[in-house]
Amino acid sequence: MNLNRQILGLAVPMIISNISTPLLGLVDTAVMGHLDSAQYLAAVALSGIIFSFLYWGVGFLRMGTTGLAAQSFGRRKFSELKAVFLRAIILSCIISLLFLLLQQFIVGIAFSLLQSQENIEQLARQYFDIRIWSAPATLGMYVITGWLIGMQRVKAALLMVLATNLSNIVLDIYFVYFLHLQIRGVALASVYAEYAGLVIGMILLIRHWRLFDVHLCWQRVLNRKQFRSLLVININIFIRTWCLIFAFGFFTAKGARLGEITLAANAVLLNFQTFMAYALDGFAHAAEALVGKSTGEKQIRLLRRQVRSCGLWSSIVAMLFALVYLWFGKHIIFMLTDLHDVRQLALLYLPWSVIMPLIAFPCYLFDGVFIGAMHSKQMRNSMIFSLAVYLGCWYYTQPLMNHGLWLSMISFMLARSISMAIIYRKTL
C-alpha cells in the first residue's frame, strides 16, 4: 500500500501536468477548427509535425537528465546531481543556437518532404517563423523538468508546466478571437507562454538548488568521461525519439496525400492519442524516478515491485480512456470542429482511437522503466524494430487507404509493447 501511495504521489501530479499539454493541443485544434476553413486546422497539424521533429527529437534533454539525476540522487552524490543539470543545460543552449541559425534550412527541408498543398504550406510557414524563437525556452524547460522529476520533486515540475500551458491557452484565445491574428496568434501564444514558463522554472530551480550545499567546480562539470557518457545515452534516446516522431510524421504526411479533409480528421483524432499518451506518461515518469533511484541504490527486488505496481495503474487508466472514447468520442469530435465533412470522417475512424490505449499502455510504461535504469541502447533497438514493423504493415495495407494507416499505427504500438516486455524480462 505504501508503494501504491508513493506511485500515485508521483504519477498524479505528472498526469495533471502532462494532460495540460494535450489540452493546449485541443485548444489549438478547437480555435483553428472553428474558423471558416479546414486549411487553418491542416496548417497547424502540418507545422506541428515539424516542431515534433525538432522538440520531441531533443527530448533526450529531459529523459536523459531524469535518469542520470535519479541515479545520482539514489547514490546521494549531490555534487554529481548538480553537475548532471549543468551538463544538460550547456547542451540545450548549443542545440537551441543551432535551431535558430539553421531555421531557414530546416523549414525548407521540412516542407519539401511533407509536400502539402501550397495554401496550407504558406500558413504553416507563418507559424514556423514565429514559433522557432521559443527554442531556448522550450529546451531549457526540458532540462529543468527532467532534473526535478529525477529528484521526485514532481509538484515543482507540475507548477512550471501548468503555468506555461494555462497562459498559452489564455493567449491563444486572446490573440485569435480578440486580435484576429489567426495562425500567427497561435504561434505567438506559444512563444510568450514558454518564456514565461522558463522564468518560473528558473525560480523553482534556484529554490531546490540551495537544498544541496556541496562544492562544485567546473572541472567536474566539464569532465570528458562524464560528458561522453551523457552524449552516448542521449544519442541512443535521440535515435529512439526520432524513430517515434518519424512514425507520427509519416502518418500525417500519408494522411495529407489522401486529401485536406482526411488530414484534418486525422489531426482531430490524434488529439485522442496525444491526450492518452500524456496521461499514461504520468506513470512512466513515476517509473523513471523510482527505478532510477532503486538502480542507484542497487535494490533490484524493489525495482521489480515498482514496475509491477506502475503497470497495474497504467492498465487501469488505459481501460478508462478506452471507455471514455467509446462513449463520448462523438461528442469530443463535435466539440473540436464544426466542419461537417471532417466530423463524419473522424467518426468513421474513431474505433481505432478506442483500441489504441489498450494496445499502447505497456510501451509507455517501459519507456519510463528503461530511462530510469539508463537502458538507452535497449530502448533504441526496440524502437527501430517497431518502426520496421510499422512500415512493413503500411506497405501491405495501402489498399485500405486511411484505415491501413491506422492499422499500421496500431501494429507499431503493439510491436513496441511486446519487444520492450521481452527486453525487460531478459535485462532487469
**SS3 for 315-330, per residue?**
HHHHHHHHHHHHHHHH
Residue-range definition of the domain harbouring residue 285: 2-427
> How many domains, the chain?
1
Rounded to an integer, what distance in angstroms lies between the CA atom of residue 204 and that of residue 192? 19
How do residues 337-376 score in pLDDT, each as one tens digit?
A: 888 899 999 999 999 999 999 999 999 999 999 998 889 8
Chain-centroid distance, C-alpha 387: 17
Q: Which residues contact 223 (CB under 8 A, 6 or more apart)?
A: 83
pLDDT of residue 165: 83
Highest-scoring range by mean pLDDT, 36-40, 81-85, 241-245, 327-331? 327-331
Biggest alpha carbon–alpha carbon distance for the chain: 64
How do residues 129-156 score in pLDDT, each as one tens digit?
A: 998 999 999 899 999 999 998 888 888 8
pLDDT of residue 116: 67
Q: Would the pLDDT of 403 be above 90?
A: yes
Q: Report which secondary-structure segment, H or E, holds 402.
A: helix 402-427
Q: Which of 12-16, 265-269, 382-386 is least confident?
A: 12-16
The pLDDT > 70 percentage for the chain reads 93
- Cell numbers 512493413 correspond to 392
Q: Which of 128-132, 296-300, 308-312 is least confident?
A: 296-300
Is 0.75 topped by the overall pTM? yes
Chain-centroid distance, C-alpha 37: 28
